[in-house]
Amino acid sequence: MRCHAWTILCAPIALIHSACSGAETSLLFPPGFMWGAATAAYQIEGYNTHSDLWDWEVKYEQRSGAAANSYVLFDEDAELVKRLGMGVYRFSIEWARLEPRNNEWNAEAIEHYHEVLRSLRSRNIRPMVTLHHFTNPKWVYEIDPSPWENGEVVREFEEYVRLAAREYGSEVDMWIPFNEPNVYSFGAYGIGRFPPGQVGLLNPTERLLPVMQNMVEAHVQAYRMLHEVDTADADGDGVAAWVGVGQAVSAIEPADPDSAADRAAVDRYARFYVWLFPDAMARGNFDSDLRFDEAIERPDWAGSLDFLGLQYYSRLKVRAQEGLLDPLNLLPCASEGALTQIFGVLGCPAPDLPKTDMGWEIYPEGFYDVVRQAWERYALPVVVTENGIADQTGEKRAPFIVQHLAQLHRAIRDGADVRGYMHWSLLDNYEWGSFRPRFGLYSVDYENGFARELTAGGAVYGEIVGANGISSDLLNRFGSDDFR
């Protein structure tokens, strides 16, 4: 069995013994490492009728309806977090509930989230609160039909953040103003999957960059607002507000590893998709022409991240293609369902790794790469704010968790300052159009009172959380050959 140098240097003496004796914990995480799980309001609460997605959903396979009924069952959900020994719960507040009409604040909804926070606090669970997770109040389109493109919504978002900071600041220290601004801007303004349904991807500089710029602006203002208003240290660790972004990241690789053009395209795509938001928020480096020349265009934005949240699921291959998505000149290879064949004709290799129920390749090594890259790029504390698997059978979740956490441990051992891991998701939920993908540590029986049941993967995660590490037994049962 292995005993890593990191373990010897950092672990408390009592744990060194178990780490090195070969008996129990083999890969130990740093003391105080935050273990948790994540959810999003729209995906679990149910009946978010004032949100823009509510009417839009008619286009999807299924409607969200009562979702996982968590607006009602929030206390039970807090108990689920506790049952696995987790110390953090990442969830989101639904803006449209707090402000169902412009400048009209809903007292019942405001009180509801106080109740959620109290329910967590009574169980010693620290909240990590997302303020925007893909949805907006419907009324933002009354102000402007393309709100994030034209920017009117930035001021409105700021008002909402001020309210949240004032109301909840004494109960919350960890804040995430935006979940996956890259996925949201793509989804809503790039490929038209979310409202307002714009398709601007083919012309990213004209159609997507303004959206991204407005979202960075809104993040920076939220960052300042949260630090200004939330001066109460809720958990007594000396920090009143700790603000990050939940950034979607992928392991990006060339369609043809021998092609220099594909390798260069990987670099362009990674800068655009993975690093554009954190580059702007951490360094003030916003590339408004997508020429990637390292120009610092917005020094006033720099320093607006206290931590970087990484959300890792899979890998993506990229192929160089002159004239496509100009000036990026590339094709990001889709690897889902029927698209795989179409993209195959265009020169994208078929996925060759085992896949999740979403069709995403399972690639734990890429997790190591991305965490290392993020740490080396910014030297900011990293929190894994999402990582998980759609798995109907429940058989793939335990190996997924063990193998990804083993890679995360390797990244930490190699120097990355990773503070925590939030599994996506605490429970099965509405996966933006369908209930079929099942991401939960707990399954939800939608036909039977939304009963929650621990999955096999959830039990394994609980074991890891309890030990603050991965035992040699779990590595033997579920790990890849490198870690057995």
- Nearest distance in Å: CB 326, ligand BGC: 26
- Nearest distance in Å: CB 133, ligand BGC: 6
- Nearest distance in Å: CB 282, ligand BGC: 20
- Nearest distance in Å: CB 255, ligand BGC: 23
| Residue with Cβ nearer ligand BGC (187 or 466) | 187
| Residue with Cβ nearer ligand BGC (33 or 134) | 134
- Nearest distance in Å: CB 345, ligand BGC: 26
| Residue with Cβ nearer ligand BGC (136 or 472) | 136
Six-digit token pair at 239? 């920090």
CA 449/CA 375 separation, integer angstroms: 43
Report the Cα–Cα distance between both ends of the chain, in Å, rounded. 8
Residue 442, H or E segment: strand 442-445
| Residue with Cβ nearer ligand BGC (149 or 431) | 431
Give me the residue label for tokens 């714009």: 198
Sign of CA dihedral 23, 27, 32, 36: negative
φ, ψ of residue 480 in degrees (nearest 5): -80, 170
Give the residue among 430, 453, 425 at the shortest CA–CA distance from 46.
430
| Residue with Cβ nearer ligand BGC (319 or 423) | 423
| Residue with Cβ nearer ligand BGC (43 or 214) | 43
Q: Are 308 and 383 in contact (CB under 8 A)?
A: yes
- Nearest distance in Å: CB 241, ligand BGC: 22
Q: How far is CA 250 from CA 119, 318, 346, in A?
A: 34, 11, 21
Six-digit token pair at 82? 């506790």
Distance of CA 222 to the CA centre of its chain: 18
| Residue with Cβ nearer ligand BGC (43 or 146) | 43
| Residue with Cβ nearer ligand BGC (187 or 327) | 187
Q: Compute the CA torsion angle 80, 84, 88, 93 (nearest 10 deg).
A: -20
Q: Are 478 and 402 in contact (CB under 8 A)?
A: yes
| Residue with Cβ nearer ligand BGC (130 or 285) | 130
Q: Compute the CA torsion angle 211, 378, 266, 480 (nearest 10 deg).
A: -120
Maximum distance among all alpha carbons in the chain? Answer: 64
| Residue with Cβ nearer ligand BGC (19 or 40) | 40
- Nearest distance in Å: CB 252, ligand BGC: 16
- Nearest distance in Å: CB 424, ligand BGC: 6
DSSP string, 152-199: HHHHHHHHHHHHHHHHHTTT--EEEEEB-HHHHHIIIIIS-SSTT---
- Nearest distance in Å: CB 358, ligand BGC: 7
| Residue with Cβ nearer ligand BGC (50 or 133) | 133
* Amino acid letter for position 51: S
Six-digit token pair at 404? 């990804």
| Residue with Cβ nearer ligand BGC (245 or 470) | 245
* Amino acid letter for position 24: E
Chain residues in the site for ligand BGC (CB under 6 A): 40, 43, 179-180, 183, 248, 311, 386, 424, 431
Identify whether 196 is preceded by a cis peptide bond (ω within 30 of 0). Answer: yes
Q: Which residues of 131-165 are buried (b: 16+ CB within 10 A; e: fewer)?
A: bbbbbbbbbbeeeeebbbbebebbebbbebbbbbb
DSSP string, 205-240: HHHTHHHHHHHHHHHHHHHHHHHHH----SSSSS-S
Sign of CA dihedral 301, 302, 303, 308: positive
- Nearest distance in Å: CB 415, ligand BGC: 27
- Nearest distance in Å: CB 181, ligand BGC: 11
- Nearest distance in Å: CB 54, ligand BGC: 16
Local structure of 407: helix, strand or coil: helix
CB-CB neighbours of 103 under 10 Å: 8
- Nearest distance in Å: CB 449, ligand BGC: 23
| Residue with Cβ nearer ligand BGC (275 or 424) | 424
